[in-house]
Amino acid sequence: MHSLEDLRAEAERAIKQAGSLKALRDAEVAYLGRSGKLTQILKTLKDLPEDKRRTMGAEANETRKLLELLAAERTASLKREEYEQKLKLERIDITRPGKRYHKGGLHPLTIIRRDIERIFGSMGFAVAEGPEVETEFYNFDALNIPADHPARDMWDTFWIKNPKRDPKAQRLLLRTHTSPVQVRYIQKHAPPFRIIAPGRVFRYEATDASHEIQFYQLEGLMVGRDISLANFKQVMQTFLGKLFGKEMKVRLRPSYFPFVEPGAEVDMSCVQCGGHGCSVCKHTGWVEIAGAGMVHPKVFQSAGLNPKDWQGFAFGFGIDRVAMMKYKIPDIRMFYQNDIRFLRQF
Ligand code: DAH
């Protein structure tokens, strides 16, 4: 009797103090298992005299039931504890600020190109495109620059090899300017029209802070019955005013490009000093921005349009240069180095 009571107290303690489901299982095995201590006692009952056996047997069974009940309760509470612990560990604080990650952004040249397209769009200009790998005809001949013309030296050209050495094949090159898009457009569309043609161009040149072997240009073309350089000046002034967000002046200086007559270099008032004179404009108050002129009759002819019926202006400028002025970027090569510290600023 004594040992059964001791055993029960001992087992109760072991069950109540079990700190984990594993420890509880061990305690259950130690007391209630097949060769556990209580089972051991039950096995000795058969050696006891009849009356003792009955009372002890009843008590031992009661003890077993009690211990099983205690073990079941302890199991339940341990499971609850473990679950609560898990909930605590896995708790998500939805009020914590999230992890910041970097979104991609637009390249400054993309931003400015879109700005330019939007502004010209508001003035009724459509956007046209042409191929970057161009034929000699569109890049030069159709623009009144035949093979033996000294003006070809104005554009250092990447020629593309003709691998089949087919003497009849058109010579191919990387376009040196966006002007060939003029010819392609005139061939396919009936005037009047006004277009811009932004795109990448290539020059076989040494690079420095203001020269790259590839950069972006924007070509403009407006053709009608009586389109003049006065119209051009107005368009350019309006465009620059909207792009730079302030009043801009434009002046034309006579110049030579084979595909226009007359031809001009276009200056705008210096963005830096507003025309008063500074180091950027070399104290002239003016900065060169574009080439322009009245479309040469030979260009109309090579595109299949009668120059007696139509006239118009054309212009071209470097998008990179405009971006450099707008964002005050000192070196054109920065656009193409993909330095994230540079790109993140836009
Ligand atoms: N295509 C010329 C260049 O790349 C720029 C240019 C000058 C375009 C005069 C024009 C123009 O349309 O009329 O240097």
Per residue in 17-73, pLDDT (tens digit) is: 999 999 999 999 999 888 888 888 888 888 888 888 888 888 888 899 999 999 999
Q: How confident is the model over 208-237, as pLDDT tens digits?
A: 999 999 999 999 999 999 999 999 999 999
Q: Would you say the CB of residue 219 lies under 6 angstroms from ligand 1?
A: yes
- Residue 260 is a catalytic residue: yes
The answer to whether residues 164 and 96 touch, using CB atoms and an 8 Å cutoff, is: no
Q: Would you say the CB of residue 314 lies under 6 angstroms from ligand 1?
A: yes
- Residue 177 is a catalytic residue: yes
Q: Would you say the CB of residue 258 lies under 6 angstroms from ligand 1?
A: no
Binding residue per annotation — 261?
Answer: yes
Q: Which atom of ligand 1 is nearest to the CA of 179?
A: 1
pLDDT in the model for residue 1: 46
Residues 6+ apart with CB under 8 A from 320: 109, 212, 215, 216, 332, 335
- Residue 286 is a catalytic residue: no
Q: Which two tokens stand for residue 101?
A: 């990650």
- What's the mean pLDDT when you consider all of the chain? 93
Residues 6+ apart with CB under 8 A from 201: 132, 174, 175, 176, 177, 178, 214, 215, 216, 217
pLDDT in the model for residue 142: 97
pLDDT in the model for residue 4: 83
Q: Would you say the CB of residue 289 lies under 6 angstroms from ligand 1?
A: no
Nearest CA to ligand 1 atom 5: 316
Nearest CA to ligand 1 atom 13: 292
Q: Which two tokens stand for residue 92?
A: 């998500």
pLDDT in the model for residue 3: 79
pLDDT in the model for residue 102: 82
- Residue 54 is a catalytic residue: no
pLDDT in the model for residue 43: 83
Distance 264 CA to ligand 1 centre (A): 9
- Indicate which residue of 314, 321, 322, 323 is catalytic: 314
The answer to whether residues 250 and 267 touch, using CB atoms and an 8 Å cutoff, is: yes
Q: Which two tokens stand for residue 190?
A: 């009936």
- Indicate which residue of 260, 264, 299, 322 is catalytic: 260
CA 187 vs CA 225, 233, 317: distances in Å = 17, 26, 23
Q: Is the pLDDT of residue 300 over 90?
A: yes
Q: How confident is the model over 243-283, as pLDDT tens digits?
A: 999 999 999 999 999 999 999 999 999 998 888 999 889 99
Q: How confident is the model over 73-112, as pLDDT tens digits?
A: 999 999 999 999 999 999 988 899 988 888 889 999 999 9
- How far apart CA 48 and CA 327 sit, in angstroms, is 105
Lowest mean pLDDT among 85-99, 198-212, 310-324: 85-99
Q: Would you say the CB of residue 260 lies under 6 angstroms from ligand 1?
A: yes
Nearest CA to ligand 1 atom 3: 177
pLDDT in the model for residue 343: 95
- How far apart CA 53 and CA 43 sit, in angstroms, is 11
- Residue 30 is a catalytic residue: no
Distance 37 CA to ligand 1 centre (A): 104
pLDDT in the model for residue 2: 54
- How far apart CA 182 and CA 340 sit, in angstroms, is 36
pLDDT in the model for residue 182: 98
Q: Which atom of ligand 1 is nearest to the CA of 220?
A: 12
pLDDT in the model for residue 40: 85
pLDDT in the model for residue 47: 86
pLDDT in the model for residue 167: 75
- Number of helices (H), then strands (E), belonging to the chain: the values are 11, 10
Q: Which two tokens stand for residue 343?
A: 């790109």
Lowest mean pLDDT among 114-128, 152-166, 193-207: 152-166
